[in-house]
Amino acid sequence: MARSLHSAVSTQATLDAICRLAVGAVDGAEHAAVTLVRGDSFTTVAASSDVPALIDCMQYETGQGPCLDAIREHESFMTHDLSKERRWPQFTSRVVRSAGIRSMLAERLFLDSDTLGALNLYAEPTSAFTERSEAFAAMFAAHAAVAYQAARDHDKSVNLEIALHSCRRIGMAMGIVMTREAVTEQQAFEALKRVSQKRNRKLADVADGVIVAGLLER
C-alpha cells in the first residue's frame, strides 16, 4: 500500500489512492474521504463515493463531528452508533436521518506537529470498526500523510520548473525584440504583453513564436 501511494502521479491521484486503499484495507470501512484543513477552513478533497462528501458537509456546517475533533484535538475518534452518540448532537441527528451511516472512524493526518487534515472512514452497520480497525487506520494514516506531503512537494517542484522555463523563454524573446526594434527591456515586455492580450494567448506561447520567427509578429 505504501508503494502504491508513493507511485501516484500527482497530489490528487495520491489523495484518490488514499481513499480507495483505505476502504480495502481497514476492516469495516465502506466509504472513505480525506479532509484538509487550511486555517479555520475544512475541505473534502477526495472521497471513495458521494456519501462522504454529504457527511463531511454536515460536519462543516454544524462545526461538529469525529473528523473535526480529530483535527482539533490531535486524536483519533471512533463511534459505534451515531444514532446513540451524544458528543455531536447536531451532526449525528442529521447524518443518521440523511445518510444512514452508523459507524465512523476519523484519524488525524499529520507530519510532526503539522496537522494536514483527517482520514475519515464510514460504514452503515453499527460497531463496524474495532480496536484492530483503529490501530490499522492510524498506521495507514501515517503512510498517507507522508505520501500526500511528498506528492505535494513534487507538484510544487514541477510547477516551479515550468515557471522558470517560461521565464527563460520570455527573457529570450524580450532580448530578440530589444535587438530587432531598438527598444528598452520594459518596452519589449509591454510589446509581448500587448500581443498576448490581443491574440488571447499565453505570454510564454507568444515568446515561443518570437524565438522561432526571430521577430515579434503583431
62-75 confidence digits (pLDDT tens): 999 999 999 999 88
Give residue for cell 520548473: 161
Neighbours of 200 (CB within 10 A): 6
90-132 confidence digits (pLDDT tens): 999 888 888 889 999 999 999 877 899 999 999 999 999 999 9
Q: To the nearest 5 percent, what fractions of the chain are helix, strand and coil? A: 60, 15, 20
pTM here? Answer: 0.73
* Average of per-residue pLDDT across 34-63: 93
C-alpha cell at 128: 463496524
Contact 58, 68 (CB under 8 A): no
Name the CA radius of gyration of the chain, rounded.
25
Sign for the pseudo-dihedral over CA of 141, 121, 128, 21: negative
Return d(Cα 166, Cα 168) in angstroms, integer. 5
Distance of CA 74 to the CA centre of its chain: 20
Give backbone dihedrals phi and psi of 128, rounded to 5 degrees, phi first: -70, -30
pLDDT at residue 1, as a whole number: 75
128-171 confidence digits (pLDDT tens): 999 999 999 999 999 999 999 888 887 777 667 777 778 888 88
| pLDDT band at residue 208 using 50, 70 and 90 as cut-offs | confident
Q: Which amino acid type is present at position 153?
A: D
Question: pLDDT over 90 for what percent of the chain?
Answer: 55
